[in-house]
Amino acid sequence: MEFFAVSQTTIDILKIDIECSEWSSFNAILARPRCLSNVKQLMVEFHSCRTTPSGLLGYWQTLRRIDQLGFKLWKVWNNDVCRYKSRRLKGIVFIGCFNFYYLNIKYLI
C-alpha cells in the first residue's frame, strides 16, 4: 500500500473483489487517502456480510468516505451470483453483493 501512497503512476482502473474483506480493506485504504489519489476509476464488489444496524452504519460511513475523496458513484448493479432465498419469508430473494463503479472527479476535466 505504501507504493500507492508515494507513486506518481496513474491507475486507470482499480478493481476490488475480495469476498467480504473489502470493508476492512477499505478502512485501511481510507486511513491513507493519498493511496487513491492517482486512481481514475474504482470498481468494487461490496458484499453485505453484516446486516446489523451497526454493520449497516459502518457500510454507509465507508461509502461516504469514498465519496468525500472525490469518487462519485456512476453505476451500481446487483450481482446475481449472490442471490439467496429467505429461510423465513416465503418467496423473498435477497441480493448479497453489489457492484459499485466510481469515477474520480479530478480526472473528468
Question: Which domain CATH number covers 41?
Answer: 3.30.110
Q: How many domains does the chain have?
A: 1
Question: Is 62 among the domain residues?
Answer: yes
- Whole domain around residue 42: which residue ranges? 13-107
pLDDT, tens digit, for every residue of 52-62? 677 778 888 88
Q: Which range (33-42, 58-67, 84-93, 95-104) has the least confidence?
A: 84-93
CB 11 within 8 A of CB 40: yes
Question: Is 6 among the domain residues?
Answer: no
Q: With a cut of 80, say whether residue 44 has pLDDT above it.
A: yes
Question: Is 43 among the domain residues?
Answer: yes
Query: Residue 101's pLDDT band (boundaries 50, 70, 90)?
Result: very high
Three-class SS state of 97: strand
Question: Is 47 among the domain residues?
Answer: yes
Sheet arrangement for strand 97-104: 11-16, 39-47, 97-104, 71-78
Question: Is 4 among the domain residues?
Answer: no
Distances (CA, A) of 68 to 3, 54, 60: 22, 21, 12
- How high is the pLDDT of residue 22? 74
Question: Is 8 among the domain residues?
Answer: no
pTM of the model: 0.74
What is the percent of the chain with per-residue pLDDT over 90, rounded to a whole number?
20
Question: Is 5 among the domain residues?
Answer: no
- How high is the pLDDT of residue 95? 67
- How high is the pLDDT of residue 2? 55
CB 66 within 8 A of CB 43: no
For the chain, the straight-line distance linking the first and the last C-alpha, in angstroms and rounded, comes to 27
CB 77 within 8 A of CB 98: yes
Three-class SS state of 31: coil
- Report d(CA 36, CA 67) in Å as an integer: 12
